[in-house]
Amino acid sequence: MKDEEKKDKASLMSPRSSLRPPPSSLYSPRAKKSLGQNFLTDARVAERIVEALGPRPDETIIEIGPGQGALTSRLVERAGRIFAVELDFNLAESLRRQFAANSNFHLLEADALDTDFCQLIAPDKSARLVANLPYNISTAILQRLIRQRACISEMVLMLQREVVERITAPPASSERGYLSVLVEAYCEREALFDVTPQAFRPVPKVWSTVVRLTVRPRMAVEVEDEDLLWRLVSAGFAQRRKTIFNNLRSAPVELSSRLERTGGARPALEAAHIAPDRRAETLYLEEWAALARSIEQAPNGRETLN
Ligand code: SAM
C-alpha cells in the first residue's frame, strides 16, 4: 500500500492535480494506515454489499469499522438496530454527529478484537454482521467472530481477495490452511463478488472480495474435544513442506504429550486412515475430525511407538 499512498500524496501535491476536486466527498487524506483505513467510495459497491446482506426492520445488525459511514448510511435506512464498533476516536466523533438523528444507530468506540459481541447486542440473542474489514487484522477478527458464533448467524465481509481464496480453498489446493479448515467447520462459505482497488480511497494495492459466511447450527463434523481438533490442525500446518507425520511429531508440548499418552502420531494417523506422508493441505475436514477422534478414543497411557 506504501507506493499507492505515495502516489496519492504526490498527485495531491502536484500543481495540476491540486486544481482537481478530491475523487469523492468521502476522501480523507489523513486515512490511518495502521487502522487499515481504505474507505469505500464507490456507491454502487456499497449498495451491492448492503443488498447482499438484505437488512430487515425486525433485526439487529453489527457493523465493524463503520469508518466514514459508506455502509452505515444504508444500514440505518433498513435495519431495526445497528451496533457499530469503531476504534478511531475521530471517526467515532463524526459518526455520532452524522447519525445523531437515527435512533436505531448505536456506536461503540472500541477495539473489535476485544469486543464481546454477544454482550453488545443483549438482550437480543442473535445478529447478522457486515464489515469492510481492516486488512491488517481481518484474520484475527474473523477468528474472534467464529469464537463468538453463538450470537452471530451470518456475516457479509469484504476481505482481501487472497484471504477469501484461503477461506474457500478446497483440500489439495495450495491456499488451504488453518483458516480454511476453521471456517469450513463452522460456516457455509460463498464468495459473492470481487471489488477493484479503485473503489477505495486511499487506493489499496490489492483486490477485495465480498464473502458470505453463514454460521452452521452445528459444527460440520463431530468431535468431543474441539480444542484438540484445532491444536491438531494448527500443528499439522506448522511447516507446510513437512508431512503431517513430521509436523505432528514436532507439535507443541501440550499436543505432543497428549499424542504420547495415546500411543504417538503414527498410530493416531493409522487409526484415522491417513497416510503419514501426506501434507496437511490435502486433508479433508472429515479426516481432521477422524484424527481427533482417534486420539480421543485411544486408551490413555500406551507406550509411545513413534
Ligand atoms: N466501513 C468503512 C468503509 O467501508 O468505507 C471503513 C472500512 S476501513 C477498511 C476499516 C475501518 O475499521 C476503519 O474505519 C478503521 O478505523 C476501523 N478499524 C480498524 N481497526 C479496528 C478495530 N480493531 N476495531 C474496530 N474498528 C477498527
Q: What is the CATH number of the domain that holds 285?
A: 1.10.8.100
Which tens digit of pLDDT belongs to each residue from 180-207? Answer: 999 999 999 999 999 999 999 999 999 9
71 lines ligand 1 (CB under 6 A): yes
Question: Alpha-carbon distance 238 to 50, whole Å?
Answer: 37
Which is it for strands 105-109 and 187-195: parallel, antiparallel or unpaired?
unpaired
Q: Where are the alpha helices (DSSP H) in the chain?
A: 2-13, 43-53, 72-78, 89-98, 117-121, 138-147, 161-167, 178-186, 226-236, 244-249, 253-261, 265-271, 285-297
Asked whether residue 138 falls in the same domain as residue 176, the answer is yes
Which is it for strands 39-40 and 200-201: parallel, antiparallel or unpaired?
antiparallel
70 lines ligand 1 (CB under 6 A): yes
Domain that holds residue 171: 33-215
In a domain, 204, yes or no: yes
Half-sphere CA count of 278, side-chain side, radius 13 A: 17
User: Separation of 77 CA from ligand 1 center, angstroms?
Assistant: 21
Atom of ligand 1 nearest to the CA of 63: 1
Asked whether residue 43 falls in the same domain as residue 185, the answer is yes
User: Separation of 196 CA from ligand 1 center, angstroms?
Assistant: 18
CB 55 within 8 A of CB 34: no
Asked whether residue 119 falls in the same domain as residue 180, the answer is yes
pLDDT of residue 103: 98
Q: What is the CATH number of the domain that holds 84?
A: 3.40.50.150
Residue 302 vs residue 220, higher pLDDT: 220
Round the CA-based radius of gyration of the chain to a whole number and report it: 23
Question: Alpha-carbon distance 280 to 247, whole Å?
Answer: 9
Other beta carbons within 10 angstroms of residue 94's beta carbon come to: 14
Query: What is the mean predicted confidence (pLDDT) over 216-224?
Result: 97
pLDDT of residue 128: 98
Asked whether residue 58 falls in the same domain as residue 165, the answer is yes
Question: Alpha-carbon distance 45 to 224, whole Å?
Answer: 42
> Which of 135, 149, 139, 136 lies closest to 62, judged by CA?
149
Query: What is the mean predicted confidence (pLDDT) over 2-10?
Result: 38
Question: Alpha-carbon distance 4 to 297, whole Å?
Answer: 54
Specify the pTM.
0.88
Reported as a pLDDT band with limits 50, 70 and 90, residue 297 is confident
pLDDT of residue 20: 37
Name residues whose C-beta falls within 8 Å of residue 53's C-beta, 6 or more positions apart in sequence: 61, 128, 130, 156
* Ligand 1 pocket mutation, candidates 53, 63, 86, 90, criterion most atoms within 8 A of CB: 86
Asked whether residue 204 falls in the same domain as residue 270, the answer is no
Tell me the torsion sign for CA atoms 14, 15, 16, 21: positive
Residue 57 vs residue 15, higher pLDDT: 57
186 lines ligand 1 (CB under 6 A): no
User: Separation of 153 CA from ligand 1 center, angstroms?
Assistant: 21
Cell readout for 15 is: 500543481
DSSP state of 216: P
Asked whether residue 70 falls in the same domain as residue 142, the answer is yes
Asked whether residue 209 falls in the same domain as residue 246, the answer is no
CB 118 within 8 A of CB 148: yes
204 lines ligand 1 (CB under 6 A): no
- Check pLDDT > 50 for residue 39: yes
- The total of structural domains in the chain comes to 2
Percent of the chain with pLDDT over 90: 86
Strand partners of residue 213:
155, 189
Reported as a pLDDT band with limits 50, 70 and 90, residue 114 is very high
- Check pLDDT > 90 for residue 177: yes
In a domain, 305, yes or no: no
Percent of the chain with pLDDT over 70: 88
